[in-house]
Structure 1
Amino acid sequence: MARVEHDHADWQAVVDAAHHRAAERQERLIGRLGEDAQYSWDLEQGAITWSRAGAEFCRARLTLIGTVSLSESTWLWSWANDSLPRSAVGDMDTVRQYGELHGFPVLPWESFDHHPGLVREARLVSAAVLDAVGLWTDQAGGIQLHFLLHDLS
């Protein structure tokens, strides 16, 4: 495949459109979940559930976008992490391919130094490319996990 040169203006336009799209979807998601919901996610199942007073009221398919090692301050895309179950990675390879096709370097890099703004942009564009209904973040030990949500029911 021929190498496409990075055009920062194109990248910024994609990020801006993805941000607008995600903001609307996040607002709907937060409205649906409320502030008192508990949650539980499972990478093997590729699912997240929300409950209130012990009763499940919402479920979604989960895709792990990537992780931030807080001790090393690095980002690792899920598509580059061989230790993850396939159910957790979903279609993230499509995001990598989108980056290669359009010359957006951050998307096909296996990892990079953690810069919150760059991670935010990567998350937003991933959500747009894979038509996610929402974004979710959690922390387990020294790892920050960034998820896409799909098929909310």
Structure 2
Amino acid sequence: MEDLSSWKEKFETCVYAKKLLDNIEYLNAKVKNPVDIEEVKKGIYYARKYHGLQMRQSGDPYYSHPIEVAIMLAEFVAEEAPKLYNAIMLQAALLHDTIEDTELTEEVITTIFGPEVAKHVEGLIRIKLYGKISSEESLNLLVRQKRYYSINQVL
């Protein structure tokens, strides 16, 4: 396996990543607990790396989809549930299609991002086994999962 910090040297921005990162910087200025931008960049890097040359029907690179999901999630959570606004949820949004559509495994996600991110990604996959879900449904599931896990950690 590659050195886990080598992604920083290889990270390249693109129009999609820039949109997310600019959005995070804007939202970070409005919330009490800003998101670690380096952790978001790590999620972007691995989403792009593993989705590689996959394309959407629109002709856009496939990784643009998880980045758009992360943008919607960031905006929604920062406004509606700011305590849940964190890098873990954004990383899960960025990786939500990787296990089923790429060679990335839950074990590798756990190694790179930690068990909580892997748990959220895996949870989305189990739900999607019953059929494709929209970006909005993915966003709502991530928020519900995080609320559930946050409540259970307090109890």
What's the TM-score, normalizing by structure 2? 0.29
Which structure is richer in relative contact order (CA contacts within 8 A, separation 6 or more)? 1
Considering fraction of residues, name the structure with more helix. 2
Considering fraction of residues, name the structure with more strand. 1
